[in-house]
Structure 1
């Protein structure tokens, strides 16, 4: 069972993730206050908007998942009107005040502490395996919410601050701090989600830490950073590029709709989920249906290369005075270098390091049709 043990290191890393989450939001709020004092009201509004959108969406999904678990007869066989000691009213109040993720951190850290730091171990082997697996299910729910938050808040925030920095020559210490923690939060969300997801599903092979994790992280960060820089150049070229980004979001959201995702228990939440996946697909590729997507990924990254080549060329053609500047050469080099490195890491990861899935055949004892809704929900999470 060592492959699914929730260790002391994992418990400490959960605290590190909470720290990054809090500091990322606080630095963004501090930056918004600075813009407000300098009377940059549009930048203030956009900076705060990304923070609020990330908070709002994660609260909505967190509350919905708690309610789903409360109604699951395998998780709540006695039909109790509370879950994790919270009533429906208390649950709604916590999420209304934006404390949903903090509530999940509290329960995960509390239950994890009892398991990994308590010297007495009353569980038999099978019970111990189930306890550790439950902890990873809690961690996976939390990591999915953090992934949503990263792409709804940290990623667009990084794009906005790069646009302000490069397009308007506005720089400050708090701005650099905000960008740094946004990048750290994105990296953490990606790696933590990948590891928690695979450990929460017993029939999926776990990817070893070390080189495979590093290659995966380089693939994601390099491709995402080069794309964000390309979008930044397009925004510098014209603020109307936001219209093109909106159209791109609508196209990816429509694609998710055509795939008929069935992630949520209600129609309205499903539409919100598809809108969120549309945002994620603007910046990076994820398998949103758990199917073979080799052809879709190839098409996606061909389109990715077109954008990364077109953006610098358009800026050089329409604003030739920038061609010889250090700024233009540096950003262009980062875009092309990041694209090449990211795609090389992508190929290495999927050819050599990505575990080949071996799904179990369901049976009467452990069949997938009899699993709790928590595990069933996790199976529908974005796949790597």
Structure 2
């Protein structure tokens, strides 16, 4: 088996702990904010905040349960580790603690591997497969809960001038969750696959993070501005989500083992595409990405212009100029980092690519038997970066 990069180190184990802390901090701060809104009589704000928490949690529990069942069916677990029974799996996910169970499994198995010095590639790939499943769920939760939560809290602060310390803590935790989940997914995903080159740490990781943060942030701000102009703008956001979902159907994604779950997956991808671009089929999408960011940038830049035209009173507020500047600056920086990352730092070549060229089926007049490709796993079919 070809090694695809570094092993599951003590630092990686500690990073898993940090990711768990960020996740807990985000959920707890949002829940406390919900309670605060209820106590102060802001029922609608409290309900919306709670809806985002519940929707994100329900989605990741459904996928987590399905993946546990798939792994159990395919005997995709380590020897000596018995799979969870169906009844226990149902109970864990009904109680909304499926993701914590996954954290427990990953931390326990990786700790044992580090303690025993298990550096074999199959052990390392198994650990990173567990980490990637977890990072996939965190990515879902981020775009279903953390990102919409930021839009909601920004709207409350800017439109209703309602500010509290807990709001800022909640927003800070959401932002940290976005940054961490994005980078963690990127690192785990490529390391868990045998046929692709792992992205190096350091500058490429930093550039990728900056590209995502500087393109997602103006998106959040511009959507907030549209809602400030009219709450009916949410219908437009729903239309963008619908387009992203339809795109998933057009691309004929095959991530899930059941068709019903595939519908939920495509709907979730539609939500993610409202805020950022991901390659949902692992194919060349240079043109698709270009179209996406042209449309996204146009909407981002139109938001402050429309705010000044249709809500001129906002020009006298303390947030108007900083938001205008930041949308223009952040969008430009994000596109700049995007170009830098994909032109110089993105690992395009697959590990097996050179073998396919060197080992063609006809070599020196001798016909070779075609090599049977390994069946795709959900890791191969998930969002590419």
Choose from 73, 76, 90 the match for 1:71: 73
- Counterparts of 1:295-314 in structure 2 under 5 Å? 295-314=287-306
Gapped runs of 5+ residues in structure 2? 360-368
1:153 aligns with: 145
Post-superposition offset of 1:5: 0.6
Pair 1:322-2:317 in alignment: no
- Counterparts of 1:124-135 in structure 2 under 5 Å? 128-135=120-127
Which secondary structure state, in structure 2, belongs to the residue aligned with residue 263 of structure 1? coil
- Counterparts of 1:69-218 in structure 2 under 5 Å? 69-73=71-75, 75=76, 84-116=82-114, 118=115, 120-121=116-117, 128-218=120-210
Quick one: distance in 1 between partners of 2:78 and 2:337? 46
Pair 1:3-2:5 in alignment: yes
Deviations 1:195-232 (A, max 9, x none): 00010012211111111111111110111000100011
Deviations 1:57-107 (A, max 9, x none): 00000000011111115x3699xxx97441111111101100110000000
Post-superposition offset of 1:326: 3.0
**Contact 1:66 1:83 (C-alpha < 8 Å) held by counterparts:** no
Cα distance change on mapping 1:49 and 1:77 into 2, 3 Å: closer
- Counterparts of 1:223-372 in structure 2 under 5 Å? 223-360=215-352, 368-369=373-374
Q: TM-score, normalised by structure 2?
A: 0.92
**Contact 1:70 1:83 (C-alpha < 8 Å) held by counterparts:** no
Quick one: distance in 2 between partners of 1:289 and 1:190? 18
Structure 1, 359-368 or 301-310: larger mean CA deviation: 359-368
**Contact 2:4 2:191 (C-alpha < 8 Å) held by counterparts:** no
**Contact 1:4 1:129 (C-alpha < 8 Å) held by counterparts:** no
Post-superposition offset of 1:277: 0.2
Quick one: distance in 2 between partners of 1:154 and 1:368? 38
Gapped runs of 5+ residues in structure 1? none
**Contact 1:84 1:107 (C-alpha < 8 Å) held by counterparts:** no
1:377 aligns with: 378
Deviations 1:360-379 (A, max 9, x none): 26899995425xxxx71100
2:365 aligns with: none
Deviations 1:25-69 (A, max 9, x none): 000000000000111111000000000001000000000001111
Quick one: distance in 1 between partners of 2:371 and 2:157? 54
Quick one: distance in 2 between partners of 1:87 and 1:157? 35
- CA RMSD for the aligned pairs? 2.1
Structure 1 residue ranges (4+ consecutive) displaced by more than 3 angstroms after TM superposition: 82-85, 361-368
